[in-house]
Chain A
Amino acid sequence: MTTPTVDHDLSFTFAALADPTRRAILTRLAAGDATVGQLAEPFSMTQQAISKHLKILERAGLISRGKAAQSRPCRLVPGPFDIAAEWIDRHRQIWQDRYDRLDAHLSALRSGREEQTT
């Protein structure tokens, strides 16, 4: 079997994230690198089954695996997550600022109205 390249199929990424076991693996890897054996421990799964999930995650560009060590520890590739997190932070900030200013504008409207009606 050839090493799958991460070419032109983003659906890999989203398919990879759709599975709860794979999300749990990613959560574990967020705490630090781990070998297949370490990853298999909390799941009632064989290392072979875990390896299958890891292949899918690797193909999706969400994890990388060490080449030197025989244990080939897995590591989270933060790129895709960082992009998502940055996007959310950026847009949340824009709306927060915008609605702060909207509140100030509403206060101005209210005080203007109160002056007019008296």
Chain B
Amino acid sequence: MTMPGEFTYRRIHRASRELLFDCLTRPEHLTHFWGPAGTTTPLDGITVDLRPGGAFETVMVNAEGNQYTMRATYVEVRRPDRLVWTEPDVEGGMTTTITFTDLGDGHTEVTTHQTNVPAAVADPRARQGFETSLRRFDEYVAGLASRRDG
């Protein structure tokens, strides 16, 4: 059974680790693909301060012109092996870890691992920073309880 709120996504791309790392960390690349689907990510809305503690922000604009801002902070920046950022405002704290593995034939495996609240709560060491999500989940579970009692 997978722990709730955690997943790993693997993809093989035809490019070097360096280029893939740059694609995920340079505004002039990010603007071409960051998405999500149905949105654009204008170059002037992308902030990359590529160092631990530095900001990673993107403004995504959908067809109706609505904007959604992703605010993240880099945790680990190790070109071309590993990139980690956290989004403290998302679901009580979400961490994204991207690792780049050279497959030796001009291809690179990119592994994206994301965790949010439940998995973090399952880890006692990570528990402290997640009170917001606990509250959110709490409200949800309380809602279940009142429905059941009602």
Cβ contact within 8 Å between B137 and A10: yes
Whether A61 touches B145, Cβ cut-off 8 Å, given contacts A14-B118, A23-B1, A83-B4, is yes
Rounded to whole angstroms, the CA-CA distance of A84 and B7 in the bound complex is 10
Rounded to whole angstroms, the CA-CA distance of A13 and B3 in the bound complex is 12
Question: B6 contacts which chain A residues (CB < 8 A)?
Answer: 88
A52 at the interface (CB under 8 A from B): no
Cβ contact within 8 Å between A99 and B37: no
A37 at the interface (CB under 8 A from B): no
Total interface residues on A, using CB and 8 Å?
Answer: 37
Rounded to whole angstroms, the CA-CA distance of A5 and B141 in the bound complex is 10
Output the least CB separation between A30 and chain B (Å). Answer: 11
> Chain A interface secondary structure, helix, strand, loop or mixed?
helix
A41 at the interface (CB under 8 A from B): no
Rounded to whole angstroms, the CA-CA distance of A41 and B51 in the bound complex is 57
Cβ contact within 8 Å between A8 and B138: yes
Closest to A64 in B: B148
Output the least CB separation between A109 and chain B (Å). Answer: 8
Cβ contact within 8 Å between A101 and B35: yes
Output the least CB separation between A118 and chain B (Å). Answer: 20
Question: B37 contacts which chain A residues (CB < 8 A)?
Answer: 94, 97
Cβ contact within 8 Å between B35 and A105: no
Whether A10 touches B33, Cβ cut-off 8 Å, given contacts A99-B13, A102-B23, A106-B15, is no
Cβ contact within 8 Å between A10 and B23: no
Closest to B24 in A: A102
Rounded to whole angstroms, the CA-CA distance of A61 and B142 in the bound complex is 9
Residue pairs across A and B with Cβ atoms less than 8 A apart, 15 shown, are A6-B141, A6-B144, A7-B142, A10-B137, A14-B118, A18-B122, A80-B140, A83-B140, A84-B4, A84-B118, A88-B6, A95-B9, A101-B33, A102-B13, A106-B23
Having A92-B7, A97-B36, A106-B13, one finds 8 other A-B pairs with CB under 8 Å, namely: A6-B144, A10-B141, A11-B121, A13-B141, A23-B1, A79-B144, A105-B29, A106-B23
